[in-house]
Amino acid sequence: MNLKIRAAVAADGPALTRLVRTSAAYDGEYRAMISEQTIDAAYLEKNPARVVEDDGQLAGFYTLLIPGRGEPGEGELDYLFVADDQQGAGIGRLLMTDLRREAARLGLRRIHIVSHPPSEGFYLAVGARRVGVRPARGRVTWSQPILVLDLPKIEVRRATPGDGAAIGVVHAASWEAAYAPFFDKDFAAGEIASRLTRWHERVTDPQGLILLAEQDGRPLAFSWAVPSSQRAGLAEIYSFYAHPDGWGSGVAAALMAETLGQLRAEGLTAVHLWTLRDTPQSRRFYEKSGFRETGATTERDFGDGAPLPQVEYEVALMPRMP
């Protein structure tokens, strides 16, 4: 599988409509529910929609209504469909993970779901909870479960002198998950341990911008941006790490958005960073955040005498509109 998630565009409308109307999940009595559904350009322009492709072929999608049912700050899942030939491949969970990220980026705290009855088990399995039932009406001659998916509260703030230990825990856990496999076991253990303590002094008298992201009060990601030593007039994100417990939660996306926003507010027009070439998860995250490869490469020796290749990414910071 070669999966890619992207925003839906107007030209996707016919394919999305076809996927909905032909879905085997709605065979039999449920067909009336979706037989006349249409997803057109006007709908996609108005409502957030995300598509999963497998080698360029549509594998699934979801759409959000904002506002939907509920209170301000809450949205509604309008469509979530997986192609028949992709059932059981994890596409649904991938879509829900992406939905959580997008909802966090949009500042939502809760998603409402009026479920196709056979799909209720899936939504319960990914963390939703039932709150009611919508009675049968019109062509829909059966009741539908109503669920809500509560989203974590994410806050991003400047690090304070008392945050050194919390940042160290995040750094050590993230580095162990993403970087330790590249090194000898004993060397990696020393590097992990050193990251637990190196932030106490840095946050006492910080050089540059250190931000800490908390999810429901728990520190789960941090960034450190400094004036670039290589590119005059640019900032460099020298450290950006998220605890594995926060992967897929939207906390890293919220942190990156705030990091770039504060650098923009300081008058910076572009930001660059270096990341290991062979860390595809990190590279996908930076690309999703708007960064693009510059083509520049280098090597970094972490101290074991075996340098690892790095690639450079850059993003332009557009000025805020008045």
Strand 235-242 relative to strand 3-7, pairing = unpaired
Q: What is the mean pLDDT of residues 235-259?
A: 90
Four-residue CA torsion sign, 193, 194, 199, 200:
positive
pLDDT score at 318: 67
Q: How far apart are CA 12 and CA 19, in angstroms?
A: 11
Asked if residues 99 and 248 have their Cβ atoms less than 8 Å apart, the reply is no
Does residue 239 sit in helix, strand or coil?
A: strand
pTM for this prediction: 0.64
Q: How far apart are CA 156 and CA 251, in angstroms?
A: 9
Residue in the structure block whose two tokens are 């923009």:
264
Q: Is 53 exposed, middle or buried (0-12, 13-18, 19+ CB in 10 A)?
A: middle
Cα three-residue angle 12-18-19, rounded to 5 degrees: 90
What is the chain's percent helix, strand, coil content, to nearest 5?
40, 30, 30
Of the pLDDT bands very low, low, confident and very high (cuts 50, 70, 90), residue 312 is very high
pLDDT tens across 81-136, in order? 999 999 888 899 889 988 887 887 777 888 999 998 899 999 999 889 999 999 98
Does residue 121 sit in helix, strand or coil?
A: helix
Does residue 113 sit in helix, strand or coil?
A: strand
